[in-house]
Structure 1
Amino acid sequence: MNHAKKKIHYAWWILLGLCIMVGLGKAALNNSAGLFLKQVSTDLGVGMGSLSLYFSVSAIVTMVFLPIGGKLMAKYDTRFILSIAIILQAGAFALFGLMSSVWGWYILAVPLAVGGVFITVIAGPVLINQWFKKSKGLALGIMGAAGGLLGAFTQPAVGSLIAHQGWRQSYMIVGIAVIVIVVPIIILLLRKSPQEKKALAYGAGEMAGTKGSAAAAVENKGVTLAAAKKSSAFYALIAFFFMITSAASFSMHIPTYLMNKGFDVSFAGNVMATNMIGVLIGSLVIGYASDKIGTRNTAIATMLLGLLSIGLLLFSASSTAVISIAVGLFGLVSASIGTLGPALTSALFGNKEYSQIYSNASMGLAISSIVALPAYGYVFDYTGSYTPVLYAIGIMLIINIACIGLAFRGKKRLEQAGSWN
């Protein structure tokens, strides 16, 4: 009787831990931030642009800290680094509830961003790249979908919490709850590399079974950071990160957009749950499609669906059903950051120096947050409408389609020059 049950590969436990950690970091902390803006702005007597400027402070810190974060992740124990990171991110979020001046948001944006660099930007793609040599796109999609699933519950819950408990208590409840849930998950499940568990990465055994040491060669195939930085593909990828993050940043303003149309905070929370369902479904579909039809085709299709979402918000937003569909579709744009971004990096530059290239390309993500989030707030302050913002997002999605084409042409040049090996 040689029918021993196959053990679940530890890579899937890593993915489970990442789903909870990254999902709560994004859904409960980052994505729920927009639900607080209207009430905080009114109570403190500050403009939406001035308040949302704290997102820019956070983005500047993220941009500066990204390369440092990559080095710290490589040097120190993953569980220690990520435990400190979630305490910084969620702790700063909780402390917002004690602030009485907009300067409190600007100051606390620093630890919020330092922790967020690890929790929501670096850890997921880097650990998945370490632990998955097969089904990377699917793993990234599942991780993004987890954020959407958690968001589908947390967004209406946070909206209801603000409506009934006020924004101060809501900040503190959400921040403390995230710390209590995430720290044990990090300690129990997450590990830096398969070597810590004396195992091979998921899928590496299949490669090794065919050609012995060939597995290592396949895993390390790609471009160096130095070669990548000299290519048009690298700058097209940075532009893609900039545009997609700028577009997705509008999700922070969706609650204000809805309340400006006369809806209350509870309805905004429910519609944001639809957005999170869009993130959930979009992440799974994007991850699966990246493995099956290629990252390039998947990226172009996603940008086109994003354009459809913007068109509905611009021209058919009188119906609550249409608003819900449009905001749900917009979830695909948000899902692109955590799925298409890492998948494009891998497709364009391989695995040789993936974490360094991804960290550097992610600068586009940070730069966009410096500009886009407060810019949207100031546009609303001065025009009383988000219509110019929606047109700008549509243009950015079109530009991104061009960036995808340029990036893959740049990859061909790298291959022809012998840099892709």
Structure 2
Amino acid sequence: MNQQKKKIHYAWWVLLGLALMVGLAKGGIMTAGGLFLTPVTEDLGIGMGNLTLYFSISSIVTMIFLPIAGKMIAKYDIRKLLVVAIILQAGSFAMFGFMNSVWGWYLFCIPMSIGSIFVTQMAGPVLINNWFKKHNGLAVGIMVASGGLFGAILQPMAGNLINSEGWRYTYIFLGVLVMVIVIPTVILTIRKSPGQKGLQALGAEEVKVEDTTPKEVVVKGVTAKVALKSSSFYALLIFFFCVTSIGSFGQYVSSFAMNIGYDIVFAGSAMGGWQIGTLIGALAFGMLTDKIGAKNTAIFAMLLGLVPVIMLITVADNATMFNIAIAIFGFVVASIGTLGPLLTTALFGNKEYGQIYSTAVMGLAIAGMVALPAYGYIVQITESYTAILYAVGIMMVVNVFAVILAFKGKKKLEKAGLWS
């Protein structure tokens, strides 16, 4: 008994696998995409708005495929799904390096998006929910922080590689690197549920102290049918839409930097600072949520986000201030990956978490479909990023009200006896 207690719970090995997978897929592929926008548009003579339409296509694919992905994760072997998914995502990203026309981005972003749904959006929250009944917020924070850790290394490296070897080589290098590391990691560490290892979830044994029915505590919450009709759900959708639109600015940080006179190497370093901010923010938001709750943490994140927006509008031409603002922005944007799942759990419990979350994250897909290409066309037409920064600031204020409304809606569900 004492020896068993001293063993590292397998939940932590699952988390390690998730951290490597999500960290490399996000830090090496998803957030690195913005570094390529200016070099590709300049080399191939494509308008910024036209190229960034591939983000919109990605978001449409994501929105259509999300409900299917939720059912597939429930039905099939998670490891096989994730191996195929990382090949689709990272392999498609590598293929961008061979393209000569914008249609290549439009085509390969489809399999890239399908793979990304499993790797960066669905698998992490579902597996953490299965494996962690204790330290849930910390586990989500560590997973999201991994994107910042790997991004802090890979983003400056990608900027230097684009500068020295070109954007084509860099696309291929990053895509292959991610596949080579993530595929064996998934096979070795990922398991869908504690039952597959003959274990209970981390912290589940503490529930047994009460009595003979620990499972009833684990599945507390509302049904998907009730949740999807509630005001809380619509407020959460608004939050997801706005916070993703805010985070989407990250794809334009490097092109924004170059627009005001900095070079690709500086842009890569600035994105490294963004990722360090994301790393610290993900850990901070996970722990903060465990201490002060998802509601207060979300409001704090949105109010803090106004600081870098003001700095980028007023003092972006100062290199030091630019880097500080981008690092704070990254800190705030960490709340997307951390607060999304945790707000969903806080509002609706985990009775039918997978179905509720997979529907709620459509707000993420809609935001990508609208915000990313909209930003691109704003830049293409105005040759400025000021309007985008004002829009980001407004959305942060909107999100404060969305969170307040969401938790008012939860109280209505509890009063109606629908939370059980």
TM-score by shorter chain over 0.5: yes
- Partner residue of 2:303? 304
Q: Which amino acid aligns with 1:394?
A: G
1:251 shift after superposition: 0.4
1:316 shift after superposition: 2.0
- Partner residue of 2:68? 68
- Partner residue of 2:388? 389
Call closer, same or farther: CA 1:3–1:48 in 2, change over 3 Å: closer
Query: Identity over aligned residues, as a percent?
Result: 56
After TM superposition, the score normalised by the length of structure 2 is: 0.99
- Partner residue of 1:131? 131
Q: Which amino acid aligns with 2:383?
A: G
Residue 280 (structure 1) aligned with residue 256 (structure 2): no
The CA distance in 1 between the partners of 2:51 and 2:257, in whole Å, is 18
The CA distance in 2 between the partners of 1:66 and 1:2, in whole Å, is 43
Tell me the SS of whatever aligns to 2:191. coil
- Partner residue of 1:351? 350
Q: Which amino acid aligns with 1:339?
A: T
Gaps spanning 5+ residues in structure 1: where? none
Post-superposition Cα deviations, 1:14-60, rounded to whole Å, max 9, x if no partner, equal 00000000111111000000001111111111100000110000010
1:3 shift after superposition: 6.8
1:169 shift after superposition: 1.0
Alignment of 1:22-421 (within 5 A): 22-213=22-213, 215-421=214-420
Tell me the SS of whatever aligns to 1:251. helix
1:2 shift after superposition: 6.5
Post-superposition Cα deviations, 1:352-373, rounded to whole Å, max 9, x if no partner, equal 0001000000000000000111
The CA distance in 2 between the partners of 1:333 and 1:403, in whole Å, is 17
The CA distance in 2 between the partners of 1:345 and 1:136, in whole Å, is 13
The CA distance in 1 between the partners of 2:106 and 2:253, in whole Å, is 22
Post-superposition Cα deviations, 1:362-415, rounded to whole Å, max 9, x if no partner, equal 000000000111111110111110000000000000000000000000000000
The CA distance in 2 between the partners of 1:208 and 1:53, in whole Å, is 52
8 Å CA contact 1:53–1:374 kept in 2: the answer is yes
After TM superposition, the score normalised by the length of structure 1 is: 0.98
The CA distance in 2 between the partners of 1:396 and 1:5, in whole Å, is 47
8 Å CA contact 2:260–2:317 kept in 1: the answer is no
The CA distance in 2 between the partners of 1:4 and 1:121, in whole Å, is 33
1:4 shift after superposition: 7.2
The CA distance in 1 between the partners of 2:368 and 2:3, in whole Å, is 53
Q: Which amino acid aligns with 1:221?
A: K
Q: Which amino acid aligns with 2:227?
A: A
Aligned residues: 420
Tell me the SS of whatever aligns to 2:317. coil
Q: Which runs of 4+ in 1 moved over 3 A?
A: 1-5
The CA distance in 2 between the partners of 1:42 and 1:309, in whole Å, is 28
Post-superposition Cα deviations, 1:265-301, rounded to whole Å, max 9, x if no partner, equal 0000001000000000000010000000111111100
**Segment of structure 1 superposing worse, 333-342 or 360-369:** 333-342
- Partner residue of 2:10? 10
Tell me the SS of whatever aligns to 2:6. coil
The CA distance in 1 between the partners of 2:155 and 2:254, in whole Å, is 10
Gaps spanning 5+ residues in structure 2: where? none
Tell me the SS of whatever aligns to 2:308. helix
1:229 shift after superposition: 1.2
